[in-house]
Amino acid sequence: MAKISRWMGVAILFAGAGTIAWGWSSVGAADRTSPAASGAKTPEAVRSLQKERLATLESIRDLLTKQLNEGTGNPQELQQVELDVLRARLELTDSPHERVSICEQVVENAEAFVKRAERTAELGIGSRSDLLRAKVGVFDAKIALELEKASAN
């Protein structure tokens, strides 16, 4: 079986994640020119910035989680940040096992979003097309997971 590049898997993963979170731009880590994409080591200055970005995203996630628990948060905004955290973690790891684990978390996130979209569609505050887009996001996330598994072998 032919191996895919890790960045091809990331591009697919985050194109799918863009479908999950309405309006989320798929422009991100997968679209950047990266030394790692060519097999070169990521410069330490870039790694440091990636770590700072991850820490900041985790702080945002914690704040949004607290707001949601207090009844003032937006679940879609929290889900967006959770996807951003996963993207940042994926950028920082070269471990095939960890990459697969992160992709599994994206699948779980996508499936949770489908459940939320089903509830909002049933209540009449979400559209059927939003629900279908969320389902496509699950397929995209699962495809990315399988590609990451294949590249890990």
pTM, rounded to two decimals: 0.69
How long a stretch of residues is the chain? 153
- Contact partners, residue 86, CB within 8 Å, separation at least 6: 17, 102, 105, 106, 109
- The residue among 90, 109, 92, 85 whose CA lies nearest residue 147 is 90
pLDDT (tens digit, 9 = 90+) per residue, 8-57? 444 444 444 444 443 333 323 343 334 444 456 889 999 999 999 999 99
Helix (H, G, I), strand (E, B) or coil at 40: coil
